[in-house]
Structures are given as structure tokens and as C-alpha cells.
Amino acid sequence: MKVLVPVKRVVDANVKVRVKADNTSVDTANLKMALNPFCEIAVEEAVRLKEAGSATEVVVVSIGNKAVQEQLRTALALGADRAIHIDTEDELVPVSIAKLLKAVQDKEQAELVIFGKQSIDGDNNQTGQMFAALMDMPQATFASEIKLEANTLQVTREIDGGMQTLKLPLPAVVTADLRLNEPRYASLPNIMKAKRKPLEVFTVADLGVTLKSHQTVVKVTPPAERKAGIMVASVAELVEKLKNEAKVI
């Protein structure tokens, strides 16, 4: 079974971003970049399936400029077998990303495609579902556990009120939630080995996909700052403030 894992390069989760002064976008210049945490969990799950003997090959794919190769190498160091880079300078919305990934899947014919449930920059939570729709595959989003049985996949999902378990025929799409696994750290020998693993590069034109413009970002602004609060010295003072000043209890 081949597993395809689309991954994204994002600003590191611990970096607090700032909006550019001209309100056109978030300033990402010179910030620490990383593999999106949810994508890392997706890669880990695919590698575990391979280690368990369920998967035969793990292919990772990323879309962006040349810099995304750094995150593809990270995924290779975590245990993926080969990587595909779709080279573009354009900022693409999830539906365009999903179309490009469909072109990759049409060639790769993976039986299982694991995404991270959302990227921590755009916070869209769309790409896996859109890809599943374009491929007409069943999906299980927000997965916290997956079990492979013959040609079906049993997935436990984190939903608003608790947990839900679904069974999907393969090929299928899964999006990883936080508690699916705890990703490993890449060892130094594996980081060295990853440098020699195959990495193919395609352009959007190579894939024969025509993309369209869906939206314009009018502006990007910082959120309203909260006014600085006060420190109270005791529980009694806190209760007094909540009752008489804030009037919320």
C-alpha cells in the first residue's frame, strides 16, 4: 500500500507573527519556519504504517517555492521514502492546492492519503476534504486513531461532543488531529540519509493544471489589543472585582 502525505512549510508554532505596517499581509521575513505540526503528525502516522508492514512506500509532497524542499527533507528524515516538490511562487488557496494534489495522486495512485487537519498559518482546515471531494474518496477528518483492516480503514475522529468511529473503504483520505501520535525526532544519521533520498520537482504547467483566481485579500490587520489588566492580591479581592467592577458574577 502506498501512502501519500501532503505537507506544508509554515512559520514555527512558537513564533508570534506581526502584521506588516502597510496592512497587506503578515510579515514572514526572517522568521523561523517549520513543518506544519499537523503535517508532521501525518508523516509520522504514515511512517508507522510502513514500519508495521502495512504500507510499502511513503511519498511526501509540498507546494511552494524552493524553500519547501527544506520541509520535504525533514519529512524524509522522519522516514518518508521520496518527495515531490511542486514549484510555484504563487500564494494558492486550498481549492487550488487540492487540484494540484489531485494531479499528483492521478499519477501516484496512493491507497491512503494522510493530511494534517489544518495549517497553523492559514487555519483553513480545508485541503484534505477538498482533495477527497475532487478524488471522490471517502474521508475521515480530525483522526485520533486509525486501524487498517484488509481493504478498510477504521478511524476514530475527534468531534465537537466527543469521539466518533467511522469505517472507510480504501482508497481514502484521513486528516490528522493532535492526538493521532507523537512525532519522533529525526536522528542525525536519518537527516544525513534524507539528503540522498529522491526529490522530484514539477511546475504547475508540468502537471497540466489550470488554476483560477478565487479571492482577493483586501487587507490584513492586527486584532484589537486587550487593555492591560490588573493584578489582584487575594481571592477576596478577585471576587470583589468580579462582582462590583466587572459585574460578571
Residues in 7-36 that interact with another protein by CB under 8 A: 11, 13-14, 16-19, 26
Among 93, 101, 110, 204, which residue sits at the site for another protein (rule: CB under 8 A)? 93
CB of 226 to another protein, least distance (A): 5
Do 75 and 135 meet the contact criterion of CB atoms below 8 Å apart? no
- Following CA atoms 203, 32, 120, 227 in sequence, which dihedral angle do they give, to the nearest 10 degrees? -140
Residue number, 77 or 143, with CB nearest to another protein: 143
Closest CB 76 distance from another protein, rounded Å: 26
Judged by CB under 8 A, the chain residues 30 through 69 that form the site for another protein are 38
In angstroms, give the least distance from the CB of 87 to another protein. Answer: 22
Least distance between another protein and beta carbon 58 (Å): 24
Strands 57-64 and 2-7: parallel
By DSSP bridging, strand 152-159 and strand 162-169 are antiparallel
Which span (48-56, 74-82, 197-205, 239-247) binds another protein, by CB under 8 A? 239-247
Which of these segments, 53-61, 83-91, 200-208, 237-245, binds another protein (CB under 8 A)?
237-245
**Which residues in 171-230 contact another protein (CB under 8 A)?**
177-179, 213-223, 226-230
- Cα–Cα distance list, 23 to 17, 26, 182 (Å): 13, 8, 37
Of 57 and 158, which has the nearer Cβ to another protein? 158
Residues 94-153 that bind another protein (CB under 8 A): 94-95, 98, 117-118, 120-134, 138-142, 144
Q: Which residues contact 220 (CB under 8 A, 6 or more apart)?
A: 19, 20, 23, 24, 25, 26
C-alpha pair distances (Å), 18 with each of 11, 14, 22, 143, 173: 11, 13, 12, 31, 34
Residue 106 CB, shortest distance to another protein, in Å, is 15
Rank residues 109 and 221 by Cβ distance to another protein and give the closer one. Answer: 221
Shortest reach from residue 32's CB to another protein, in Å:
14
Inter-residue contact 44 to 183 (CB < 8 Å): yes
The count of chain residues that interact with another protein, using the rule CB under 8 A, is: 82
In the complex with another protein, which residue's Cβ is closer, 76 or 143? Answer: 143
Nearer to another protein, 53 or 160 (CB): 160
- The least distance separating another protein from the CB of residue 147, rounded to whole angstroms, comes to 11
The 3-state DSSP class for residue 238 equals: helix
For 59-85, give the DSSP string.
EEEEEESTTHHHHHHHHHHHT-SEEEE
* Selection from 154, 155, 158, 98 nearest residue 128 by Cα: 98
